[in-house]
Amino acid sequence: MIDIVYEDNHLLVVIKPPMMPVQEDASKDIDLLNTLKNFIKERDRKPGNVYLGLVHRLDRPVGGLMVFAKTSKAASRLSKMISEHDFKKIYLACILDRGIEDKGHLEDHLIKDPKTNTVKVADHGKLAILDYEVLARKEDLALVKVYLKTGRPHQIRVQFSASGHPLYGDHRYNDRVKKDEDLALWSYELGFTHPVTKAPLVFKSLPIKKRPFTYFKEVLYE
C-alpha cells in the first residue's frame, strides 16, 4: 500500500517507496504510477481508465514525496510551475563529508548518455543548480538539506559526486560504495500553489528509519 499524504479532486500527494520505479520500464517491476491508477480505479469503482498526470520524477532508488495531477488542467499548471521554478523541492541526503563547507551552491552543466543511463558534468549541456546546507556530521558522513533549483536527471547525485562528496549508497556515482548500501537520498519537502484553488501547499516527509539516516536520529527523529 502506498502512503497517501494528501488528496483532493485535482491532486494526489504520496510517498514513493525506495526502489520502486515511478513508471513502467524495461524491468517490468511494479511501478508507482500504475499502482496508484489501479488503486483509484478499485477504490472509486471507476469503469474506465483513470487519469493520473506525471509532472515530476524521482530516480528509482529514491524515496519520498511526489505529487500527481488528477486532471489535465492540474497537470498543465503544475508542469508550468516546475518549468518556471515556482515549485519548491527540498531533499535530504547523506554524503561523504571530506570537509564540505557548511553551506554551498553548486552550478554545473550536465549531459546524459542514454546508452548507459548516466549523467556527467561537462563544459556544455543543461544547466543544473542547487544549494545545500549541512545539518549534522558523523564520522565521515554529512547530513545535508538540498534545495533543488533545477530538475535534471540524477542531478543531486552527479553534482555532489563531481564536487568530491558522493552520496552514501550511490552505486552509479560513488566509487567507494559497498554492495549492501542503499542510496541515501529522500524527497523531503514539496511546496507549491494549488493549481486550482491557488492555496499555498507545503508537504514534508522524513526518511524511512534505516541507515545511514538513523545515524542522525537526534536531528531527524527526535
pLDDT, position 24 = 86
CATH code for the domain in which residue 151 is found: 3.30.2350.10
Pick the catalytic residue from 25, 44, 59, 131: 59
pLDDT tens per residue, range 67-83: 999 999 999 999 999 99
Alpha helices (H) along 5-126: 32-43, 72-83
140 is catalytic: no
> Going by C-beta distance under 8 Å and a sequence separation of 6 or more, which residues neighbour residue 131?
103, 104, 105, 106, 146, 147, 149
Is residue 156's pLDDT more than 90? yes
Provide the number of structural domains found in the chain: 1
DSSP 68: E
pLDDT, position 181 = 96
Q: Are 162 and 114 in contact (CB under 8 A)?
A: no
Cα–Cα distance for residue pair 154/115, rounded to 1 Å:
15
For residue 38, give its domain range.
3-220
